[in-house]
Amino acid sequence: MAQRSQPVTSVGKMRCISCRDEYLASDAGTCKECYEEASETEEELKREIEDLKSKISFLTWLSPVDDHHRPSSVLSFTDVVLVATDDQSPPVPAHKAILVSRSPVFKAMLESDMEESRSGTIKISDVSYNVLRSFVHYLYTAEATLDESMALDLLVLAERYQVKHLKAYCEKFMTSKVNGENALISFAFANQHNAKHLMEASLSMVMDNMDKLTKQDEYKELVEKDPRLVVGIYEAYLSKQVNTAAVATEYL
């Protein structure tokens, strides 16, 4: 692609794209002063980014569920455990301070006279040990290793305990995985758990593949379980058809 030339203002001179002053022609596109200022700004931003990374590293709590980097001192100061009641697995240790700061649900639970606060044990149903472990790890580090199954389970937990950052994190991952095969299931899941972006992406994919999706077993199950949702899909589909026809008519 040809490089766009700068406007010539007088013989041998160009006009700077930053300050609009004239300067001797060169390949930089800016005058010397603006070029040097931009370079200084870039270096400044790099230093600020490094400072922010250092602060994040300093402020991030070491996760007590990280077996590879977990010193015994970290475990000795944990003051609460989370238990997956549907799984015969060991409890997941944590710090009340972290749970309270990350989740308003945990905050209400642990700052009141509820059983969880007195016993130091939080029982969580409908979750596996691996999912619970990943959930606690995220509360400390804002990091999680996701596949489609883990993202789905973590989003449910994030919604239950109002961990908005984790919910958005999982929703973004799931949205990137929407395709013609899973769009219907994704739309139903998103609707159930109020995942707006996933819902929009899934609905768009559903409408683009209506002929195929209406033949799937998942569609038949959805008709039986939630006919209201199916009506919503058709309303959106018909609205799209009407809008497309209206646009086409304007160009006739």
Q: Is residue 213 part of a domain?
A: no
pLDDT band at 127 (very low <50, low <70, confident <90, very high): very high
pLDDT of 186? 94
Q: Is residue 234 part of a domain?
A: no
Q: Is residue 42 part of a domain?
A: yes
pLDDT of 21? 66
Q: Identity (one letter) of the amino acid at 20?
A: R
Top-confidence residue, 46 or 69: 46
Q: Is residue 153 part of a domain?
A: no
Give me the domain span that covers residue 78. Answer: 38-61+74-145
Q: Is residue 238 part of a domain?
A: no
Domain count across the chain? 1
Q: What is the pTM of this model?
A: 0.70
pLDDT of 89? 86
pLDDT of 23? 61
Q: Is residue 27 part of a domain?
A: no
Q: Is residue 236 part of a domain?
A: no
CATH code for the domain in which residue 80 is found: 3.30.710.10
pLDDT of 251? 55
